[in-house]
Chains A and B, each alone.
Chain A
């Protein structure tokens, strides 16, 4: 049993009545359906194997708007000739045109055709036309009469004797010839059987609706309707969900990893004293990193307050000058407390570690980390930012040694970068000794410098009151993010490209 809409049933019945085969036009007329409705029903019948659509390319001719004028009023040359005859067989062009009311744009055309068809004799001196007898109706005129009032006719329905008129009329832009596909429908055996079986085989389907409305649901009307099928392949409008920023999302991931590895998060201010950013980390006061192109200085006020660390400042000063009790010979210069108070924008996150080491709440053993916005007066380009984030921290325990240092880096390489292989190289930081650089290898990415680390020098830990080894580490998270996000230019981290953010996959 097949369920059909009323339209299809009507078409099928009409088809049966028309001996099983009919053009769409015939069916449209028979069932009083529009072109598109009839065509849709035909498709549905075909889908159900009740009828078969046959497409036949046909050529049709139809009148143009100019052609329509000629079909109604006769061709201009005919009108001109008739006028001359009415004026006793001889008249000037102007008089004849006036007599018959020939439109301006047709006068020259009419004259031309009277000459070509040899319907009139033109005296070129006086400009008079002479017509001896009314010319008989030409095939072009017959064809126009045939087309008059009709939309179009297939070219093969044009009588043989009029075929020769098609081309000239086409050239005169009176008609156009169109290639069209003619659809016709042919009933199948199944269709025949179904229509003969009547109601037993066909049920009238329900009224078709586009939108399922609350009313249809509440009143139960949905049971008696049929839902129009959609073109589910049609493109739809964009939806841009709100998303977290990919880089911050990545940092969240790093943060979560570090927390599971037993690290506690530190925080601090972006404006810092030179004391914590440099001095406490055994960076001498005339170090190039402290020059105007190495660090941002604050304009006003220039100095911060380190009074409450007076004892520490004194120990740091002694250590810089002569090594104090650290066993070092120190840097051997005159330390300035004023310089220590200079306010700067922190150039690395290590100042947070220095503050943590000095804190009364420092625990041993412990692990700390920070995700810190840091600043450097760099010219911003593909590989440099003047403002970026650093992930770094410390591990503190009595038993720590170089093996732990390598172990911490190795753990990060595996857990955070998902590295397949790691490699260590000697490195240098003013505040650590020994210092190590870690390169991580990842299939598809190659070797990437992923982190740096070291054991804080005694000149750092002792003045801060810490007597156990402290491992300091930092991770090259920017490079890792760029690698994962396919960002080639470091400025992409702070990308202002909304379209990129919207399209960026959440990975």
Chain B
């Protein structure tokens, strides 16, 4: 979930409401836009706000958050319209970009009064949009420039990585594009987006000065914004046209909210079937129309709202109304609400404006019958029998590692389901048997009073080619007893009593299992099938886990035993 740090004074100014430090009240208000106060830095005068809606990038900056909240608080009504100023520049797009990073959008905002705080807020918004909305700059990346330094028009073009060089932001020497990918921190971070192509994107002005090397880094000469800049140029490049336009809208409207005056740019795309529109005027501030059906709205909300009431609520939610028909409302969705894709999204806004807590909850009588998983009853019986035998139930992670599963168990590796992107070295695969989990548990309880008797009826996961998910989960049962006189007969007696009470007929046959002592190990046989093992644990294993008392244990495929029993019945 995105988290943003907001300058409280700036926020209150843009919102038109003061909280006098009452963060609880702010938190309550923020609920309208699915946000929460997560912390406050009184020294810096900032508030950390978590935005739960990952699909509302218009709220990810102080300007947008204030705009989104104003209507709900009754400080504004309806959608906020932004008008597109005169066209002020052209950008020419190179045909070779179509398979690399085909789209660009651009706007100019003049007469903005930037302060250090406002610039920081803008950078914060730009970063959030690049990271989350732009998917770490893959889909879109944003650049801001001081307009007065540029010679228009601009050229969105390409260059060979090793032929072209400029001074990237934060450096003082010229570097080739290849060197930037190798040596510049941003090059190392985002280089993979372009490095697969033979040529890289480049944005130049009419004197061939570099604005930026999208989506990696701006130039050191033209690509920085300071408090002295009053006229800004914003550009967004990316792989999806609509996403590029949306990101441009979000940054541009934020600057307009700061009192800036917008101007448009014409993007001149090459003659190519990849570009259905030869020229595109950006930014696109047009509202979208969505037809909201009154009956549908009431059906989803379980209310009987009149069309008039719905119109009122739409305006409270910061939406516009183009026309009211007999049973539908022609809703205007403002350009910055890039999340809306279905009328259901509008229905939710109506509900939020109405207030969830003003809606009466209803528990409907439905003729449904409850039931637990079929195997749950017998699983529970087995757990109760084990508890009755004095064994403490334990709960372990199913994620583990080969060292615990095999090396420390004196066992050859057997197939497991492995994770491609483990986060911890101790959690790299799913367990394929339970006993290592039990022994690990005992190994951290060596100072606790003995005897210790534990069991787990839990899941193991095994590779299985025949399944849809190429794996099979099974419920297994393992128990262990450890104390100075723990031994085979104790644990066999427990297993015998468990099976006896569950009506499982079983035999035991001598087997060799490297985790157990030879001659004191039995295979558990049900229906002529080996379904488990019982025995005294090999001192090699005890040593590996630093256990000081003898240990006897059993482990059985509980699910398979139930299956075999059903077959018999």
Contacts and interface: CB of A to CB of B under 8 A. Distances in A.
Given A407-B364, A426-B352, A292 B421 contact: yes
A264 B373 CA distance: 8
A343 to B, nearest CB: 6
A304 B468 contact: yes
A399 B301 CA distance: 11
A407 B344 CA distance: 20
B130 to A, nearest CB: 13
Contact of B470 (A270, A304, A363, A395): A304
A89 interface: no
Contact of B392 (A363, A404, A502): A502
A338 interface: no
A248 B371 CA distance: 18
Contacts of B52: 427-428
Interface string A424-442: 1111101001111000000
A404 B424 contact: no
Q: Counting chain A CB atoms within 10 Å of each CB, which of B132, B440, B470 scores highest?
A: B470
A245 to B, nearest CB: 4
A258 B370 contact: yes
A332 B344 CA distance: 18
Contacts of A377: 421-423
Interface string B333-367: 00000000111110110011000110111111011
Given A298-B419, A366-B368, A270 B387 contact: no
B473 A406 contact: no
Contact of B356 (A299, A395, A426): A426
Contacts of A406: 356, 359-362
A interface, size bucket: 35 or more
A375 B427 CA distance: 11
A334 to B, nearest CB: 9
Interface stretch (A66-74, A134-142, A378-386): A378-386
B418 A298 contact: yes
B186 to A, nearest CB: 19
Contacts of B362: 403-404, 406-407
Given A292-B421, A459-B342, A469-B300, A242 B386 contact: yes
Contacts of A286: 135, 138-139
Interface string A297-308: 111111011101
Contacts of A375: 399
Interface stretch (A93-101, A165-173, A225-233, A490-498): A490-498
Interface in B298-331: 299-303
B543 interface: no
Interface string A373-409: 1010111100000110000000101011111101111
Contacts of B368: 262-264, 363, 365-367
Contacts of B423: 293, 377-379, 386
A330 B393 contact: no
B468 A365 contact: no
A443 interface: no
Interface string A333-351: 1000000000101000000
A496 B139 CA distance: 45
A102 interface: no
A410 B363 contact: yes
A252 interface: yes
A403 B399 contact: no
A378 B373 CA distance: 29
A49 interface: no
Interface in B12-67: 31-32, 34, 52-56
B390 interface: yes
Contacts of A270: 398, 430, 459, 461, 471, 473
A255 to B, nearest CB: 6
A48 B364 CA distance: 73
A327 B34 contact: no
A271 B410 CA distance: 28
A401 B302 contact: yes
Contacts of A296: 419-422
B442 to A, nearest CB: 8
A181 interface: no
B366 A367 contact: yes
Contacts of A213: none
Contact of A434 (B351, B397, B470): B351
B172 interface: no
B55 A494 contact: no
A264 to B, nearest CB: 5
B103 interface: no
B472 interface: yes
Nearest to B468: A305
Contacts of A428: 34, 52-56
Given A242-B388, A365-B368, A386-B427, 5 more contacts: A265-B373, A293-B421, A330-B341, A427-B34, A428-B54
11 contacts: A272-B469, A288-B132, A297-B419, A300-B418, A304-B468, A328-B342, A377-B423, A386-B399, A397-B366, A403-B303, A426-B32
Interface of B: 31-32, 34, 52-56, 132, 135, 138-139, 240, 242-243, 299-303, 341-345, 347-348, 351-352, 356-357, 359-364, 366-373, 376, 380, 383-384, 386-399, 417-424, 427, 430, 440-441, 444-445, 448-449, 452-455, 459, 461, 467-473
